[in-house]
A and B are shown apart, each in its own frame.
Chain A
Amino acid sequence: MENKILVMKNITKKFPGVIALQDVNLEVTRGDIHAIVGENGAGKSTLMNVLSGLHPYGTYEGEFFYNKEKCKFESINDSENKGIVFIHQELALIPQLSIAENMFLGNEQGSLFNIDWDKTYVESENFLKKVGLNVSAKSLIQDLSVGQQQLVELAKALAKNVQLLILDEPTAALNDEDSQNLLKLILDLKQQGITSILISHKLNEIEQVADTLTILRDGSTIETLKKGIDDISEPRIVKGMVGRELSDRFPNRSVDIGNEVLSVKNWTVYHPVLSKRKICDNINMNVREGEIVGISGLMGSGRTEFAMSLFGKSYGKNISGNLFIDGKEVVLNNVKDAINNGLAYVTEDRKGKGLLLDETIKHNISLTNLKSISKNSIIDADAEVEIAEEYRSKLNIRSTGIDQHINVLSGGNQQKVLLSKWLFIEPTILILDEPTRGIDVGAKYEIYTLINEMVEQKKSIILISSDMSELLGMCDRIYVMNQGRFVAEHENINLSQEMIMSSILRSDKGVL
């Protein structure tokens, strides 16, 4: 009989309006590296949140056993006390504190009223050595690279005496070299008897390190594959993840591309605080009427910053370069200018930068263009209701009514409200930044359909996405961005994920 460290049985988790997990089963063997794969919104993070106690006992159905003991975690502390450590995709380190301070945060060495700093530093340097990071434990987190920070997170987990390590997209923000280091480290930890659960979109990495692999789709377990027994090659995994041929995920459209509507020449943007760092470096691009142009790149490549700098200089300092709309050069100094020139930017961060969460659907949709429904600055309440109702039915926003508050809607419906508010200004060029992040497959399809409708109405779309299959399925042309530069441009004919990745890798090595 195999030694199971974790057994999860029939886990079901519901959010208002969405079933995130439906009878999910997961068994993890001690000492394994167990990968969990699935599309965005398949329920991977939710499942891990249940495991780590972020969704406390009682807010989900089903049960799970850790070391054969039934778990009723009320908080993250409970799971960490048992040796389960969850390293999130967004790192949870405090930039202004040192490595050592971060590592023992909440677990301070010494006594309550007298922290033993000597011990803290010695201990933390020990753990840093274990993860192969050669920096002083007194360095501040903000002075480290993302890769180094990821290693600090691992060292922190070791300091908590970890037995089961959960890694959510650990390499998403890392370059190839750092990723390989990290994977090697995870294999080292395996030698020391630490079990890992690895969530990743990078299937080649999973192929490389995973012993077992569980595929989730739409909140359900699809299958579990074992290395050496089952086929765990990329195409096999993708088939399990998608559940159907890739082409079916994207609606068809007729392509009718017209003249150039937007062109960017020598666009350079500097960091708003670190004024010597170039975030966007000499970018050239163009977009034609009725075209979907994709921007592919890893997190941190500068995609979002580039889009925001175009959108009325919403990001960055010392922006230089020229922007042409319909062949005429324009200078957009603020968001209003951008809107007036037919530009819309749908943010990737819908909760942080996109929506007013405490407000109603109606007030969110109307915000971008109150001018059109008001006279002498006085809002016509009836016109506002009409507009909100129009978009609610057009985009199929599932809600009790236009007066429902945003914070109770599901991610997909929030995204539709965000899209509505930008469609309301009737833009000619729409920049969509991760428009389908964290929403379920059904809502994705609706959003793709909507994008196609807009293009058929002669609008132009710039689509930024981490999901390469999405770019390949939707775009006419794809720019590849890496470290602030556009390193390649591909017509989307017989293009594959490998070709995009190799553009990124080649630019990392300095070969262009």
Chain B
Amino acid sequence: MEKIKQVIRKNTMLLILIIVTLIFQFLITRSGSSSLFTPANITNLISQNAYVVILSTGMLLCILTGGNVDLSTGSMVALVGALAGTLIVRQGLNIHLSIFLCLIVGILLGAWQGFWIAYVNVPAFIATLAGMLTFRGFAWIILDGLTISPFPQSYLKYFNSFIPSNPEIRFVFTLTVGILLSVTIFVVSLVFRLRKKSIGYKIISFSSFIVRKILISLVIIGASILLGKDKGIPAILIILSIIVFVYHYFTSRTVYGRHLYAVGGNYQAAALSGVNTKGITFLAYTNMGFLSAITALVSVARFNSAAPSAGSSYEMDAIAACYIGGASAYGGIGTVRGAVIGGVFMGILNNGMSILGIDANWQMAVKGFVLLAAVIFDVVSKNRVQVES
């Protein structure tokens, strides 16, 4: 019993996500408008919400440094998108060079803000609020208020295509990838587990280990079946997975990641422990610029156009995802895993309400309410844990 309680406590948000998903599934099937889990809808869900997941991993780093957020994210997406449109469509510049330039500009925008925040001590809220206005303004100036489209196929293929392109082997290929992935994860974790056991470290019981791996495999294989029935593995899913994996590894296993938590957990203690607190803060905001640029490239491909109004309120979705995922508003606490769960949560919410045909105005109100409810639940359950311990 105590064990079950602990599992629930550790995975509160994941459980809420599953419950909300099931509620939507129930409502959707009852209303007769097919299902949340149709192959086409899964593909949709991924391409619609890629931006939240990418941005929330970046936003998490900013939040970790001290509960600060980057408000200029959406504007950076618009500005870099405008640049991509100008270079690729208007100037007809080489695609790879254009992508490279866009990423560099994103990094520079992030570094510009990071510099003021980290080295001149301008409050992050103010610096990025200024950035939000400035960058959005530049996006309008560059595009002269117009929307640029369409993008050449040679650009779109990097973001919008599916693997494999041959429809005949699609299902078999996707399923094989899913099974291989599951097996790899199982084997790798088993090796780590055995190694840990041989040195004598604490490990979780074998039964819960197996249960965990089976659940993960089921999700992966289930998703691969659904994707296989539709168009295959979306390129965007691969980009997304790489980003999530890299940042998960960065925050949990590297020295810089650890320093990020230290800076947010106790700035002075980190400084007195020899952590380069300013450098770490600078890094977090610079990285946000980089991920905003990637999001811009993804977004212009998805809409097949660059518009000055693109990316509006993206920053708010990313911030919400982080907080839903358990990040602390004071910094120092939060995980990439949580941010991704938060992102998916927002995605399911958007997608489910759209399928149900809920009015767009209502959708926003519901999203706000659910955000508050989710965080209240998290705060209350954590308070209880502290009282008990």
Contacts and interface: CB of A to CB of B under 8 A. Distances in A.
Interface stretch (B39-47, B76-84, B260-268, B292-300): B260-268
Contacts of B328: 358
A338 B261 CA distance: 23
A353 B255 contact: no
A160 to B, nearest CB: 32
A400 to B, nearest CB: 10
Contacts of A492: none
Contact of A357 (B199, B201, B265, B273): B265
Interface string B252-291: 0111101101100110111111111000000000000000
A417 to B, nearest CB: 12
Interface in A346-387: 347, 352-359, 363, 366-368, 370-371, 374, 377-379, 381-382, 385
B370 to A, nearest CB: 26
Nearest to A408: B389
Nearest to B196: A382
Interface in B183-215: 196, 199, 201
A389 B132 CA distance: 47
B254 A352 contact: no
A16 B262 CA distance: 25
Q: How large is the interface on A (under 10, 10 to 19, 20 to 34, 35 or more residues)?
A: 35 or more
A506 interface: no
Instruction: Give chain A's interface secondary structure class.
Output: helix
A408 B255 CA distance: 25
A382 B199 contact: yes
A311 B255 CA distance: 22
A379 B328 CA distance: 24
A421 B201 contact: no
Q: How large is the interface on B (under 10, 10 to 19, 20 to 34, 35 or more residues)?
A: 20 to 34
Contact of A339 (B261, B265, B274, B389): B274
Nearest to A405: B389
A308 B271 CA distance: 12
A355 B273 CA distance: 9
Contact of B272 (A314, A377, A379, A408): A314
A75 B131 CA distance: 44
15 contacts: A335-B271, A339-B274, A353-B266, A353-B269, A358-B265, A363-B258, A366-B258, A370-B255, A370-B259, A374-B254, A379-B258, A382-B196, A382-B201, A385-B201, A421-B273
Given A366-B258, A370-B258, A378-B253, 10 more contacts: A312-B274, A314-B271, A354-B266, A356-B262, A356-B266, A359-B262, A370-B255, A374-B255, A379-B253, A382-B196
Interface of B: 196, 199, 201, 253-256, 258-259, 261-262, 265-266, 268-276, 328, 332-333, 389
Interface of A: 16, 308, 311-312, 314, 334-336, 338-339, 345, 347, 352-359, 363, 366-368, 370-371, 374, 377-379, 381-382, 385, 408, 421
